[in-house]
Chains A and B, each alone.
Chain A
Amino acid sequence: MNKRKIIFDTDPGIDDAVALLTLLNVESFEVLGITSVAGNKGIQHTTDNASKLINYAQKNIKVYRGAHSSYQRVKDGLIEEVRDGGNVHGEDGLGGVNLPIDSDNISAIGAIDFILDSVRTYPGEVEIISVGPMTNLALAIDQDETTMRKVKKIWSMGGGVFRGNVTPVAEFNYWFDTISVEKVYSLGNDVDIVMVGLDATHQCIFDANDLTFIRLAAGEKGELIYAMVQDYLNAYWKFNNYIGIVIHDLLPVLMAIDPTVCTRLVHSNLRIVHQGLTKGQCIVDLADSWKLNKNAFVAMDMDVRKCKELFMEVCFGLVVKETYVGVFPTL
C-alpha cells in the first residue's frame, strides 16, 4: 500500500516533541522529512531538538533547517531575534530533558528547498503538518507558488476563533508571523487547509491522571514525556488554572491520522489581523456573514476521549491503550 507522504514543520517545543514522537509511529505515514522553524525557541534550538527526537526514536529521517525569524525579518535580511531565557518550554525547549544529539541527521539542504523538491516529486500527494509559525511555507510560496498549490493538504496548529494565548484574541504561532499565515491561506482554493486552533486544542486537556498513567504504564517513552512536560504542567497551573496540559501540536497529528476525532469542522473564510490591538487574531467567519471564499477548514469541537485513546495507541501501542481504557472506563 502507498503510504501517505508527510512533512512535519515544527519548532520543538514540548508539545511539538510529543506530536513528533507520535507521528513517527504512524505506520501508514511516510515521513519525508522534518523541517525546523524558529518559534517556541530560536532556530538552533528547534533544529537540534528535532534532531534529538529523531535520534531518540531511531528513525532514518532528516531534519531540514528552516527560517530563523518571522517572514518580514527574513525578507529584510535581519539576523535572528534572540529569544533566550525560559518560557513554558524550558530553557532548551524540551523541558530540561537530556537527549543526545546526532548532527548527522541534520541535512545540508534547507527547509524551503526540501519542501519544494518533495512537492515536485510527489505533486498532489504531500501533506504538511505545520505546528509552528508558517514562515517556511510562506517562503516556499514566494519561491514557487505553482508548486505549493500542489500540496495535498496542510494540517495547521495555530490560531483560535474564540480564544487566544499571547493576547486575548491571538494564538502564538499565528501572532508570531501573520504575513505567512495570510500567504498560506491564500492557497485555500487549491489546497485543503485544516486549522486546529485553540478552540479545539483546549478541549483536550491531558490531566494529572492521564500524565501519571503515562509515567507508570507507558514504558520508557512514557517516562520521558512525563519528565518533559513538568515545566509545562506548572505553566498551565499558573496561567490557565488547569490541573493538566494542552498538547496543542499533537492534535493536528491525531486529526491527520483519523479525521473523525474532530466532531465539528467548519469550512469558512479566514483572515488575519496584521497590526494593532487585535494583531495575530484570525477572524473566522463561521456563520458565513461575509460571503467570502472559504479558504479554511476550522476544527471547533473534538471527541476528547477518542483523541486520548488514539494517542495512547499510536504513541505507546495497543496494549497501553487497552490498559488506559481499563483504568479509565467511560461509564
Chain B
Amino acid sequence: MNKIKLILDVDPGIDDSLALLLAGLSAEIELLAVTVVSGNIEVNQAACNAKLAMSLINRNDVLIAKGCALPLQRNYVDATDTHGKDGIGEIYFPSEEPIDHGSATEVIIGLLRQYPHQITIAALGPLSNLATIIKQDAEVCALAKEIIIMGGSVKVCGNCSPVAEYNFWCDPDAAKIFFDAHLANVTLVPLDVTYKIRLTPDMREMIRQFKSPLSQYVVDITGFYVDFHWAQERTLGCVINDPLVIAYLLDRSILTFKKGYVQIETEGIAMGESVVEFRETDSQKLTDIAQSVDSKKFFKLFLKRLFHEHKEDIQLMIEKRMIL
C-alpha cells in the first residue's frame, strides 16, 4: 500500500508535539518534513521542541525546517500562558536545534513540485507558512493532494476570544489568504470537535505507569496543560487538539463532515473568527468542516500507537473502563 506522504506544519506546542509523535510512530505515514512556525511558541524554540519529540522516537531522520517567525501583519502573541515558557510545559527547555535544510516555505514548495498531487499537508499552527507560499505562487499549493487545517471554531466558543481560536487569531491575515484561495481538497478540523479530545488524569496516570522516556515525556509536557485547563476553564484533563488530525489521516471514520464556506474576520472584536456559511451553494468555495468525532476511537488509536509495547495494558484498561 502507498504510504501517506505527509508534511506537518506545526508550532510545538504541547499538543503539536503529541501530533509529531503519532505521525512519527505510524508506519502508514511517510513523514517528508516537519515545518515549524511561530505560534504557541516562537519558531526557534518550536524547532528545538520538534527536534526533541522526533529524537525521543528515534526519528532524527525526519527533516525539520523553520518557517515564519512572525504573523504576516499582526503583532505576534505567543501562547506560552497555555504551553509554558518553553512551549512544552517548562520541564525540558530543549536547546538543540535541528540541522538547517533551508526555509520551511522552500522545503514545502520543493516537495510539492517533487511529488505533485501526492502530498498531504497537515497544518496545526498559524497559517503563516502556507499563506506566504500562496502569496508567492498561488499555483504551487494546488499541487497538494489535500490540506488539513486544525483551527477555528464554528458553533463553540473560541479559546482566544469568545469567537476566535488561537491559530487563526494569531495570524488572521494568513488564515484569510489561505481560505480566500479556495483550494480544492481542504479540510477544517475546528475546536468544535477537538474540544472533545480530552486527555484525562486517568489516562495520564496509566501512561506514567508505562515508565519509559517517552511515557515520562508525555506525562511531563501535559502536566502544565492540565493545570492550565483547570485554572482557566475548570476542565479536568487537557484538550489535545492537534493529534486528532493525524489520527484522522490514519482512520477516516474518526470524523464526520459537513461542507461550508469559510471566511476569516481580520479586524475588530471578532478578529480571527472563522465565519462559516453552510448554505453556500458555490461548490468552488466549499470546505469540508468536521462536525463530530469518535473520541473513543481516537484515544484507542492514539494510545496504542504511542505505547505500542503496552497495547495489551491499554486494551485491558479500556475493558475495565478505567479509561474511556
Contacts and interface: CB of A to CB of B under 8 A. Distances in A.
Given A273-B268, A281-B270, A168 B157 contact: no
A101 B72 CA distance: 61
Interface in B153-173: 154-157, 161-163
Contacts of A286: 157, 162
Contacts of B162: 283-287, 289-290
B11 interface: no
Contacts of A275: 268
Given A276-B268, A284-B162, A169 B157 contact: no
B4 interface: no
A196 to B, nearest CB: 18
Contacts of B275: 167-169, 277-278
B277 interface: yes
Residue in B156, B162, B264, B275 whose Cβ sees the most chain A Cβ within 10 Å: B162
B168 to A, nearest CB: 13
Contact of A290 (B161, B264, B277, B279): B161
B215 interface: no
A162 interface: yes
A285 B159 CA distance: 11
Nearest to A281: B270
B161 A169 contact: no
Contact of A278 (B154, B156, B270): B270
Given A168-B278, A284-B162, A287-B162, A277 B233 contact: no
A276 B278 contact: no
Contact of A273 (B157, B269, B276, B278): B269
Interface string A225-266: 000000000000001000000000000000000000000000
Nearest to A240: B279
Interface in B240-289: 263-265, 267-270, 273, 275-279
B270 A273 contact: yes
A283 B233 CA distance: 19
Given A168-B277, A277-B275, A162 B155 contact: yes
B157 A283 contact: no
B279 to A, nearest CB: 8
A183 interface: no
B138 to A, nearest CB: 22
A289 B268 CA distance: 17
Interface in A59-84: none
7 contacts: A271-B269, A273-B269, A276-B268, A277-B263, A277-B270, A278-B270, A283-B162
Given A162-B156, A286-B157, 6 more contacts: A168-B275, A169-B270, A273-B269, A276-B267, A286-B162, A289-B162
Interface of A: 162-163, 167-169, 239, 271, 273, 275-278, 281, 283-287, 289-290
